[in-house]
Structure 1
């Protein structure tokens, strides 16, 4: 008869044999056979109830130890380049085990967020508890959802906040994470793609609070787009231990009257400027322009925790009510911010321009500066316009007027170069002190804004040209010319408005500017500006120089904002390397990885843009939510087979008129001309048409707006029964019968009349 082992014997054997933990393995090890297996099952059950063992997939293991083969999530490398991982199967009490990944030469490169299957070995000493060796990579992070939690009898459901999301997610009772009814939550996919009743399963990973709070809007976008908004402890520690840079090895610029000019609510100040007339007799009427930029590279060293986190974020993300910075506040708001009256480390460029605004030379310096004034755009413009305040009055003659004189010369050069001159007003969302959204306004562009833009463009060009001359690798800001298909669409839009875009020659920004100029002041101005913007390719970063089409420049790099853009930090390091200013320049492995860095930060930039746009949409929906039933004027900004998008004049908000709300007839969608045509009336709906709409729905959680279309080009929409008979909207003919031919003829005639009318009035 087999002798049963004690509970201690079983636990000790499982600990020594973590890969052999099925009941049959335990029975074989202790020679247990026959009826004795029933007693062994009882012992294992007792150990499970007492918390000493955990049964998973017919095997037993110590709940305070990780299984020998585990699923791990890779963390970001630490300052030494070591990779650690989060054990996703940890169920024990106390601190989560620390798992170090031991790479092998044959392993693929692992990145933050990767999920891997790994074999673990328990270690008894050192700064980690386990060492992991890769078996295989099983994918990146699971699909994440941000939504509203609704409690149910067996857990609950999540209603996603994404616009257009058409499915809910089920949450099991043990996967709610303590979430309460109506809370905003973050969750991840759990189990197979679809569960009971065809709905996917989710596990709540974070509770985000009350979704109706105004400040929750940007928080939704931050989590939805995966923007890191908490700094790891080691990153904060590095930033907190940083000390101000001294004068050693730097040019002393502290007596130069540099000033910062920023929005009134600026969160950081990373650029300062100064200009004066050039006293070189060989440059009559010329100017000297200084641009000084925070020396972030001094504080954020290659390979440090700060550098790893900054690269991961790629850039700061700006929202109406908050900023998610690329660097901790100790740097972004203090040591790297060019505060008034405080010595600050900088990289400065001295540029000379002739009387026509053409740059004739530049030299870069690593310096120590001290801003004499922190000014706003409105202050500076008011001072130049004759109404200075106490701060700007002493600066008018020696600081502000020379800045504007240099700007006037630069503007003449810009006018000759003709960068793309889009007129797209920027929206400004305003809040009360209590955080309540109070207004949506359009910002006014001043010459003070344009002055700083021209100075920064000049400095960015100087950085690119200097590094090219010194044959030092860098990241260029690239903007390629529009593809032919998009240009053809723009030509069709222009033609429908009675305007022309040059054809049959190499496209230049001057051609686009002529189109924009011809449309200026007309009803079609906004349409043409929007269509021109949509025809553009998206700018990106690259170690190869393909020029910047929009700015009409051959070489362009981002140098002026290293506090909020990792690209600029790379350019600073390249300048440090090129000039031999220290050991904090661009390193060989960074140069080898420039392509990957460029691709990564181009993606993070787009991620921020989408999050910022979604946040604005949600705030606008919240702002309009108490005006359901109100009528608004606007223009058609997009046409699709499911309806038309309308941009409101009052706020610039975009919303959808579903096709079912376009009158009582069937509409055919023509993707080539981006038009909808009524099957019965022959009515043609296209981009740019003036409309009056009624707001029927505003969903702050998703940012969605829905309208009824009341008038089109000041004409009422047809109402009453469809002339298509009982088949109505859905049953309208789709073939090429007589009705279709008649409708096509009406469409052609209507478009011709529209062109003639618009040409006469343009």
Structure 2
């Protein structure tokens, strides 16, 4: 007997996903002759809108089929992925249902992530409030492409425009038709997806997500956070785990609370994860030597392998520091409380005790799991002032027994550093100071003190000790490695130095000392900034690896990050390895972790580090561009920091702001890029503009959202001997003047460099905690063309 429409609807609704005519016929015991009638009945139901027909399957409208195409849109409070169907009639059925994705074993191909498109098998249960379905991923069909972000500008007639945040898309606005705003308000940062492309007019897009308001510079870091996909909200499970953590006790720890360890950090530091102490060695066999202790917060005691905290820390890889905020690797309960070595409070730590010889070389070391009590919290300038004879109420009692021994031990260690000769680039870093409203107040270059160098060298010593211990104990670890310059970069550098009559030996076995001799040769000359920049750009980029190939920049055979587990996952892995070497336990690196396991971790955290550096650099660019946006037409002293076929990159003296001078605006000549000289050279005049030149520039355009500045060059260049004709050896009156354009080109181009062009203001070493507190000179962190976040601990956590 043919079932009624009500019975068919009830059957379809009771099934998981779509069902076909065959399943309905089998369920009701229909014969072959009745299938024709069933087909007609289903057609009627579809025309009435009671069921949806897709190919040979039907399902009840407003429900999901058994297998669906979906986009991963978010994470739930526990950090699990949540997806939404690609095809859904929102007008008829309301908001699309959410699908909580369950872990899928043996899933081939890339791991799923946010914004990926997937094929998912839906299960009709309600796993959590507000989530209608659960599902298992069958296949990741398309990895997420970098989302298109912009700032929404509302139009009076409805709809709006999208101002792109990417420099390479400047001037390429998108139009949003009325009805496609998705609730976006004026000044909102939004992600958009392109709609149909018109033959004429602007491309059309619809707003996909509202990411926050950019009404003030205080929110400018939101752009970088979303553009780079940096996780900036902790899942509920992670917060709950952090809040439930108990303060570590003296159980199974050595009691070192009587040792007057002190923390020395920037004045605005919110966490203090390392403390130091030094005392003259009483061993007669080490006369003039010292015992130096470096104690690091025992983060491994609170972040256990495989826990929610651990998974989130690995996902983030590191903390990300912006002038107005920090996106931490760990919640504040861990980073600013339990693992902050506050003065006169008991704290768990992992310490290394190092015996230093009179010449600064490390004779021996040992690691200890301890309970400590910091004697004082000092700022760099405060510690330095005490040594220079201006102690205060805090430093006066510590001067003789704590600070003087620390500086005496540093004097020994400095001898070994000077003998080792790490690469010693002179690239000062500027620090942005903000007003209360988040706008830029001023940009300063803080002085670099011996207090900074003391901490830097002690941290390097501790990192070397960690790498040596784990290597000796055959415990897998993640090394911090830095390869030497490639042959191609060496060749280009050699050609460039030859234009300055500076020789560089024709060998591929260069050492940092080779570069240091060149830097010493030009120190104090006009060529010094130029040579520092070009040598910087010849260097490779430091990274993490389970395989050790040394650290070229520091001139060390083995090196690992150990001293900042609060903000770097690599350090946490090293801590766990040391705990395994000390006897194991639930906090230690699991025995199942191998070199192969750590290879994937190292690749991930190297990528998150590069992501953080790019986000930090772009945010500084945007803040400075906002700061200068109302100074169009102003003239600034600057220095050329890069040259390409497209034009010159310049850095302003006062703010360090990076900008671009298009080649089209350089003067009444055709300028060619001379790679050997790293310069643009005029065909007729021989006028040359090269890296390191001191120049005056006029600001002609600012794009704050993209962090882009365009300048015109007011200064004349130098001249080379290959100029021909009547201009040879003479200065052209108009060459390089503002507003002068190439013949036949009309107004100067308002262009900016494309993404990937050499960046002005490359890695800079500054006076805060240098290069991640441990690597020393900033070139090892950023590599060529990047800006090092040298004082990361000093920025508010």
- Shared fold (TM-score, shorter chain, > 0.5): yes
Which of 657, 680, 687 is matched with 2:691 structurally? 687
Q: 1:93 to 1:250 in 2, by over 3 A?
A: farther
2:282 corresponds to 1:284:
no
Aligned to 2:111: 110
Q: How far apart, CA to CA, are the structure 1 residues paired with 2:584 and 2:38?
A: 75
**Whole-angstrom distance in 2 between the partners of 1:566 and 1:3:** 65
- Structure 1 CA distance, aligned partners of 2:431 and 2:740? 43
CA–CA distance in structure 1, aligned partners of residues 577 and 535 of structure 2 = 35
Q: SS state of the match for residue 534, structure 2?
A: helix
Match of 1:87 in 2: 84
Is the 8 Å Cα contact of residues 218 and 437 (structure 2) preserved in structure 1?
no
Match of 1:557 in 2: 560
Unaligned runs of 5+ residues in structure 1 are 48-52, 731-762
Task: Indicate the residue corresponding to 2:147 in structure 1.
Answer: 144
Deviations, residues 432-465 of structure 1 (Å, cap 9, x unaligned): 2232311011121100000000000000000001
Q: Distance in 2 between matches of 1:200 and 1:569?
A: 47
CA distance in 2, matches of 1:372, 1:161: 47
In the alignment, is residue 643 of structure 1 matched against residue 647 of structure 2?
A: yes
Cα distance in 1 for residues equivalent to 2:338 and 2:152: 42
State the 1:685 CA deviation.
Answer: 2.6
Q: How far 1:319 sits from its partner (Å)?
A: 0.8
Q: Distance in 2 between matches of 1:497 and 1:3?
A: 95
Residue of structure 2 equivalent to 1:603? 607
**1:530 aligned counterpart, secondary structure:** helix
Say whether the 8 Å CA contact 1:85–1:99 is kept in structure 2. yes
Q: 2:759 maps to what in 1?
A: none
Task: Return the alpha-carbon distance in structure 2 between the equivalents of residues 76 and 347 of structure 1.
Answer: 37
Change (3 A) 1:200 1:135: farther
The offset of 1:535, in angstroms, is: 0.8
Distance 2:107 2:190 in 1: 40
Over 3 Å counting, the alpha-carbon distance change for 1:164 and 1:421 in structure 2 is: same
Distance apart, 1:519 and its partner CA: 1.5
Q: Which residue of 2 aligns with 1:13?
A: 12
Residue in structure 1 matched with residue 432 of structure 2 by the alignment: 429
Give me the whole-angstrom Cα distance separating, in 1, the residues matched to 2:58 and 2:175.
29
Instruction: Tell me the CA shift for residue 196 of structure 1.
Output: 7.0
Of residues 700, 715, 735, the one that matches 1:718 is 735
Structure 2, gaps ≥5 residues long: 719-730, 749-797
Q: Is the 2:667–2:742 contact (alpha carbons within 8 Å) kept by the matching residues of 1? A: no
Root mean square deviation, CA, Å: 3.5
1:447 aligns with 2:450: yes
Compared CA separation, residues 723 and 169, structure 1 to 2 (3 A): closer
**Take 2:741 and 2:578, find their aligned partners in 1: how far apart are those partners?**
71
**Greater shift in the superposed pair: 145-154 or 595-604:** 145-154
2:168 alignment partner, SS class: coil
Q: 372-381 vs 713-722, which deviates more? A: 713-722
Report the 3-state secondary structure (helix = DSSP H, G, I; strand = E; otherwise coil) of the residue aligned with 2:122. strand
Change (3 A) 1:496 1:25: farther
Structure 1 position 425, deviation (Å):
0.8
Taking the aligned partners of 1:38 and 1:61, their CA distance within structure 2 comes to 13
Shift of 1:514: 1.1
Partners of 2:103 and 2:696 in 1: CA distance: 64
Equivalence for 1:629: 633
SS of the aligned residue for 1:404 comes to helix
Asked if the contact 1:74/1:110 (under 8 Å) is kept, the reply is: no
CA change 1:583–1:76 in 2 (3 A) is: farther
Return the alpha-carbon distance in structure 2 between the equivalents of residues 502 and 117 of structure 1: 58
Confirm whether residue 181 of structure 1 aligns to residue 183 of structure 2. no
How far does residue 636 in structure 1 lie from its aligned partner after superposition?
A: 1.5
SS at match of 1:215: helix
- Looking at structure 2, the residues matched to 719 and 461 of structure 1 have their Cα atoms a distance apart, in angstroms, of 51
Does the C-alpha gap of structure 1 residues 199 and 12 become closer, same or farther in structure 2, counting only changes over 3 Å?
Answer: farther
Counterparts in 2 of 1:97 and 1:701: CA distance versus 1, 3 Å: closer
Pair 1:555–1:706, CA change in 2 (3 A):
same
Verify the 8 A CA contact 1:185 1:208 in the aligned structure 2.
Answer: yes
> Is 2:333 the partner of 1:330?
yes
Shift of 1:383: 0.5
Moved more, 482-491 or 712-721: 712-721
- Distance (Å, rounded) in 1 between the aligned partners of 2:56 and 2:514: 72
Distance 1:102-1:557 versus aligned 2 partners, 3 A rule = closer
| Secondary structure, counterpart of 2:167 in structure 1 | coil
**2:547 & 2:624 partners in 1: Cα distance?**
40
Equivalent residue pairs, number: 718
Structure 1 residue 680: Cα displacement: 2.6
> For 1:269, which of 269, 272, 279 is the aligned residue?
272
Q: Distance in 2 between matches of 1:276 and 1:240?
A: 38
- In 2, Cα distance between the equivalents of 1:550 and 1:623? 35
For the residue of structure 2 that corresponds to 1:31, the secondary structure is helix
- Residue by residue, what CA displacement relative to the aligned partner does 1:40-76 show, whole Å, maximum 9, x if unpaired? 45521xx5xxxxx779999875465333222345699
**Greater RCO, 1 or 2 (C-alpha within 8 Å, sep 6+):** 2
> Cα 1:322–1:528, aligned 2, differ >3 Å: closer, same or farther?
same
Contact conserved, 1:722 with 1:728, CA < 8 A, in 2?
no
Answer yes or no: is the 8 Å Cα contact 2:151–2:188 preserved in 1.
yes
Q: Provide the residue aligned with 1:743 in structure 2.
A: none
| Residue range with higher mean Cα deviation, 263-272 or 619-628 | 619-628
TM-aligned CA deviation for residue 515 of structure 1: 1.1
Cα distance change on mapping 1:54 and 1:235 into 2, 3 Å = farther
2:397 corresponds in structure 1 to 394
Please give the residue correspondences for 1:110-259 in structure 2 after superposition, counting only pairs within 5 Å.
110-113=111-114, 114-123=116-125, 130=133, 132-151=135-154, 155-166=159-170, 167-171=172-176, 175-187=180-192, 189=193, 202-259=205-262
Q: Distance in 1 between matches of 2:583 and 2:81?
A: 35
Out of 527-536 and 498-507, give the one that drifted further: 498-507
1:457 and 2:454 correspond = no
TM-superposition CA deviations, 1:366-385 (whole Å, max 9, x none): 11111010110010000000
Name the stretch that deviates more: 650-659 or 204-213: 204-213
* Contact map agreement 2:320 2:328 (CA 8 A) in 1: yes
Distance 1:63-1:3 versus aligned 2 partners, 3 A rule: closer
> Is residue 402 of structure 2 the alignment partner of residue 403 of structure 1?
no
SS at match of 2:37: coil
**Deviation of the 1:214 alpha carbon:** 1.4
**Alpha carbons of 1:585 and 1:356: their partners in 2 closer, same or farther (altered >3 Å)?**
same
8 Å contact kept, 1:144–1:186: yes
Task: Give the Å deviation of 1:518.
Answer: 1.4
